A and B are shown apart, each in its own frame.
Chain A
Amino acid sequence: MWDGILTGLTTAVMPFNLLMVVVGCFAGTFIGMLPGLGPISAVALMIPITYGLDPASGIILMAGVYYGAVFGGSTSSILINAPGCASTVVTAFDGYPMAQQNKAGKALALAAYSSFTGGTIGAIILLFAAPALASVSLSFQSGDYFALMLLGLTAVAAFSGKGQVIKALLMTVFGLMIATVGTDITSGTTRFTFGSVDLIDGVSFLLLAMATFALTEVVMTVMRGQHNEQEPEMDMAALGSMKLSREEVKEVAPTIGRSSVFGFIVGVLPGAGATIASFLAYGLERNLASAKEKLKFGKGALRGLAAPESANNAASTGSFVPLLTLGIPGSGTTAIMLGALIAYGIQPGPRLFMDNPDVFWSVIISMYIGNLVLLILNLPLIPYISRLLAIPRPILIPLILFFSITGVYLVSFNTFDIQMMVLITVIAIFLKLLEFPMAPMLLGFILGGIMEKNLGRALTMTDGSFSFLWDRPLTLTITLIAVFVLLFPLLSAMIGKARTRGAEVAVNEGEG
């Protein structure tokens, strides 16, 4: 392991890779600040740039962008009450009231320190957890992989929110359907190409990611009429002091510690991600607070800001565990990174740890460097970076549109891809209006090919019998967890309804 860490450290501290972390953090912070564009869009916009880099540098850049975007989202949450992404919505609960009390500088500093600690604790746990899990997963067979992918897909659906489970499952199936377009890798026959030569290679991952996230998000901003809005000018003097007193540090230190560990654990669960971690950490902290302190929540409580900030960064780190060790992304952003790794010809999973130790370890080490960059460079520069937001939206939007489409075009040099992007964007807008989540579709699309390969292999070995799902204890355990995860939201809804009915009956009997 130490050899690997040394290899990773050597790769991560190479001047070019350090530059990638810094550039990634800056670009991510800027994109993350723009309301509507979150880490997924930010990472998607970076994919075409990373194609020209070696795998380690590419993934390091993307990891930097990821952290930067989460940090940028927190900044706009605190300063203008406009969360850049879902995982920083909770940050605004107490961060924005602090900014209104002329404590914006303190809120930004606390957010940065909490993020840094969350990310650091997350990176340390990842350092030990990832290789341990990777060595266990070396014994995995096709059936286990199929069951794991099933778990990943069902978990994403299960965590998608109340009333959204069926929609998320449908989107997963839709993603799997798109993955079947093109040439079947086992038999060589073409499927769903309708005679088009451009579809023989299937739908490109980059095209789908850019169309559904970057392009659709920007177009939705225009559709909502937000393109004429201008970010309020941020006055450096109004930010106030960025220093925290000793008492304040004492108050938030335990919160940051427990929220970081909690966030990491939630982040490891496939599909849970930073958003759920931040909401749960905020709820947990509020429940732990005394009755007097509880009243401060929502009005600028330091603990209310520190908890979600540490949790979302730790969860971002945690979501790399299933990606690096099992090849299953824990969130939409890591799903995009999985696609990028596959495009590099690297198969994430237990073999990554053995075959590409430089990629495996340098990503982990660069995460820590990314956190340092955010703290040392980005925090003092926030007032200057935020000035970029002063670029009028009517100028910024066509430029983002242009980068999205040329990012795809410059990889394939095929204008059919641009037309395909327009079509997919129209479909994505329609689905978004109907409140269908996009991340499960991308996850289904990315896992589709590998899932089909493993299912085919497992079924061939068992001569068409699904007994591979329960023959080995490991596969059976994963399958049962997948079934439980899938049925849990349905069961909890049914139990909730039964309880309400029970309470109604009791009230009626009491009245009678």
Chain B
Amino acid sequence: MSITKDHIGGLVFLCLSVAYGYYAGQIPLLPGDEYEPFNAQSLPSALAIIGGVLSIALLVTADRSVEGRLKLAGYDFWLVAKLLLLVSLFAMALPWMGFTLSTILFLVGGYWLLGVRSIKTLLVASVPFAVVLWFLLSQLLDIYLAPGRFFTLMLGV
């Protein structure tokens, strides 16, 4: 018997349902709430049970054919990981470098990761975009975009 996508999915959701059910039991209740017909634990407990039953049903009825196996060949996971890391770094850079500089760095990084190597393209496709966007948001739409903490600390502005 081969381990298929259905088996993996069923097992993952079974673990999730068990963990969810455990934490559902930890939800603090107000005094007397335990005697109420419906309290903060009711729906989560029911969902944990339904999730568990459905996961088992998926495991029992799982596709056992070779075609049902999880195929990871042909996917560029490394590039996706780098792109998601870039998104995460953008989030970290925002409070420190400010909106405009973070945007430029994010876009340049994204273009570079996807294969753009021309310095001119990297700059033309990022700097005017970030500046125009900053102008639109802060000057036209009056949205406050805080300057980066780095600049306020270093330059005192």
Contacts and interface: CB of A to CB of B under 8 A. Distances in A.
B116 A422 contact: no
Given A189-B30, A191-B40, A402 B9 contact: no
A422 B106 contact: no
Interface residues of A, number: 60
B40 A398 contact: no
Contacts, number: 160
Given A173-B54, A398-B106, A223 B137 contact: no
B44 A189 contact: no
Interface of A: 52, 163, 166-167, 169-170, 173-174, 176-177, 180, 184, 186-192, 219, 222-225, 227-228, 392-395, 397-399, 401-402, 405-406, 409-410, 415, 418-419, 421-422, 425-426, 429, 431, 433-436, 452, 455-456, 459-460, 462-464
B37 A463 contact: yes
Contacts of A184: 27, 40
A170 B51 contact: yes
Given A222-B76, A401-B110, A425-B84, A418 B43 contact: no
B40 A189 contact: yes
Contacts of B51: 170, 173-174, 177
B88 A395 contact: no
A303 B115 CA distance: 44
Contacts of A394: 111, 114-116
B80 A173 contact: no
A236 B84 CA distance: 38
SS of B interface (majority): helix
A121 to B, nearest CB: 39
B58 A166 contact: yes
Interface string B74-85: 111101100110
Please classify how large the interface on chain B is, using the bins under 10, 10 to 19, 20 to 34, 35 or more. 35 or more
A392 B12 CA distance: 38
Contacts of A167: 6, 9, 58
Contacts of B12: 434
13 contacts: A167-B9, A173-B50, A173-B54, A176-B47, A187-B33, A190-B28, A394-B116, A395-B121, A418-B87, A419-B91, A452-B43, A459-B42, A462-B37
A428 B55 CA distance: 18
B125 interface: yes
B108 to A, nearest CB: 9
Contacts of B87: 401, 405, 418, 421-422
Nearest to B55: A170
A224 B77 CA distance: 9
Contacts of B111: 394-395, 398
Interface in B62-95: 63, 70, 72, 74-77, 79-80, 83-84, 87-88, 90-92, 94-95
Contact of B37 (A219, A225, A227, A460): A460
A180 to B, nearest CB: 5
A187 B91 contact: no
B13 A170 contact: yes
B127 to A, nearest CB: 14
Given A52-B141, A228-B115, A177 B80 contact: no
B91 A415 contact: yes
Given A180-B43, A422-B84, 11 more contacts: A170-B58, A187-B39, A191-B40, A192-B27, A224-B75, A398-B111, A399-B129, A402-B107, A406-B103, A421-B87, A434-B6
Interface of B: 5-6, 8-9, 12-13, 16, 20, 23-24, 27-30, 33, 36-40, 42-44, 47, 50-51, 54-55, 57-58, 61, 63, 70, 72, 74-77, 79-80, 83-84, 87-88, 90-92, 94-95, 103, 106-107, 109-111, 114-116, 121, 125, 129, 137, 141, 143
Contacts of A393: 114
B58 A187 contact: no
B23 A192 contact: yes
A418 B30 contact: no
Contacts of B20: 177, 192
B92 A415 contact: yes
Contacts of A426: 84
Contacts of A397: 110, 114
B54 A169 contact: yes
Contacts of B47: 173, 176-177, 180
Contact of A191 (B27, B38, B84, B103): B27
B63 to A, nearest CB: 7
B40 A186 contact: yes
A180 B76 contact: no
Which one of A173, A224, A409, A434 has the highest number of Cβ atoms from chain B below 10 Å of its Cβ? A173
Nearest to B91: A418
Contacts of A190: 28
Contacts of B36: 460
A227 B42 CA distance: 46
B91 A402 contact: no
Contacts of A52: 141
Contacts of B33: 187
Nearest to A227: B114
A49 to B, nearest CB: 11
A338 B111 CA distance: 35
A455 B38 contact: yes
A95 B74 CA distance: 30
Contacts of B9: 167, 170, 431, 434-436
A312 to B, nearest CB: 29
Given A415-B95, A464-B38, A166 B83 contact: no
B13 A464 contact: no
B122 to A, nearest CB: 10
A170 B13 CA distance: 8
A410 B106 contact: no
B17 to A, nearest CB: 8
